Structure 1
Amino acid sequence: MRKLIYGMNVSLDGYVAAPGDDLGWSVPSDELFQWWSDRVGATELALYGRKLWEGMSSHWPTADQQPGATPAHIEFARRWRDMPKVVFSSTIGAVDWNARLVTGDAVAEIARLRAEDGGPMDINGATLAGAAMRAGLIDEYVLVTAPVLVGGGTPFFTALDGWVNLNLVETRTFPGGVVLTRYETRR
């Protein structure tokens, strides 16, 4: 069985995007960017919701060819392109960049993928992760918390029907007061 991991940058008040989908508060330090890049390199399969897919696929496929691309950005772009991806959307017609599109029941497909043998899967996008949370499919939560209050926007956590008990398995501090906390779901 694969491990399903939900991790994103999050504001101290719990949002992955500020109102208007503003992500300006979450620009990572070089050290944090490298940490995210290493995660992408270790991920066997990434699951994307439509909104995050549109953002990532509009930039990373050619980011390594942009003037001034740093070695870290070049490496991340390569890793991102090479990583197998599944995009969940009923409004997108097609995807590329080593991805396949699922237009049907996201929770059923995530459960099927999770039941397979293989390495870790990352779930990306708050709405998609929320559906997986409500279905009890998330095995690990990674919060990379920035010391900023944005006052609203897209929450990291969705409304749940019951408690989810977690065990803290890692903490790490990055430049700028950013704190990583990693929790495993108690089953």
Structure 2
Amino acid sequence: MRKLIYGMNLTLDGYTAAVGDDIGWSGPPSPELFQWWLDYEKASGLTLYGRKLWQAMSSYWPTGDQQPDATPAEIEFARNWRDSPKVVFSSTIDKVDWNTRLVTGDAIAEITRLKAEDGGPMTIGGATLAGAALRAGLIDEYVVVAHPVLVGGGTPFFAAVDNWVNLRLLETRTFPGGVVLTRYETRG
């Protein structure tokens, strides 16, 4: 059975995007944080995306390694992103590329099926998709990468939950610029 990990950058007040889907608050990550995200992506056996995050990622990373100022880590990230298996959940997109499969039906049923397979851990990104998986009790680990900024509203990292979710701290780490990573696993 695969583990499902939900991780994203978020503001200190808990938003993955400010009002209007603005993610400008995060700025470019430090080299250390970027390397951490690269290692996180390389450890994933399958990445699950909601529509908005897919559109953001696919607007840049297919050619991210061809940018004149791309760092070696960015080149590696772009190549890994293109080659890694991905699933996009959307009822409004009609085509995906770069080793990606589109699911237009029941996301929770498909995520449940994928979790039951053998393989490496799966990562899930996109607050709406992850929120549905959270409410269904499918997320095994949370990666919270909090940036020192308050935006006052937007898309929350944690969707409203129907029941308490007890967590156990696995790791904390501080990155340049005051960014703090915390990892938790679900308990019971």
Q: TM-score, normalization: structure 1?
A: 0.98
Q: 1:150 — aligned with what?
A: 151
The corresponding residue for 1:16 is 16
**Offset, 1:7:** 0.2
Instruction: Tell me the residue number matched to 1:182.
Output: 183
Unaligned runs of 5+ in 2: none
Answering whether residue 88 of structure 2 is matched by residue 108 of structure 1, we say no
Root-mean-square deviation (Å): 0.6
Identity %: 79
Q: Distance in 1 between matches of 2:74 and 2:118?
A: 31
Q: Which amino acid aligns with 2:168?
A: N
Displacement of 1:69 in angstroms is: 1.3
- Give the length in aligned residue pairs: 187
Separation of aligned partners in 2, 1:109 and 1:51: 19
Deviation of the 1:82 alpha carbon: 1.1
* Distance of 1:20 and 1:153 partners within structure 2: 7
Deviations 1:22-54 (A, max 9, x none): 111113111000100111111100000001001
Q: CA deviation digits over 1:53-106, x for unaligned, max 9?
A: 011001000011112111111011011111100000000001011100000000
Partner amino acid for 1:67? P
Report the Cα distance in structure 2 between the residues aligned to 1:63 and 1:171, rounded to whole angstroms.
29
Q: Distance in 2 between matches of 1:116 and 1:161?
A: 27
C-alpha distance in 2 between matches for 1:104 and 1:111: 13
CA distance in structure 2 between the partners assigned to 1:71 and 1:168 by the alignment = 32
Q: Which AA in structure 1 matches 2:18?
A: A
Which residue of 2 is the match for residue 91 of structure 1? 92
Q: Which residue of 1 aligns with 2:52?
A: 51
Deviation at residue 131 of structure 1 after TM alignment: 0.3
Match of 1:60 in 2: 61
What amino acid sits opposite 1:9 in the alignment?
N
Q: Is 1:167 matched with 2:168?
A: yes
Consecutive unaligned residues of structure 1, counting only runs of 5 or more, are none
1:135 and 2:147 equivalent?
no
Partners of 1:161 and 1:20 in 2: CA distance:
26
**DSSP 3-state at the match of 1:183:** strand
> d(CA) in 2 for partners of 1:10 and 1:66?
26
CA distance, structure 2, for counterparts of residue 128 and residue 178 of structure 1: 24
Return the offset for 1:19: 1.0
> What is the CA-CA distance between 1:168 and the residue it aligns to?
0.4
Structure 1 residue ranges, 4+ long, deviating more than 2 angstroms after superposition: none
TM-score w.r.t. length of structure 2 = 0.98
The one-letter amino acid paired with 1:55 is A
SS at match of 1:62: helix
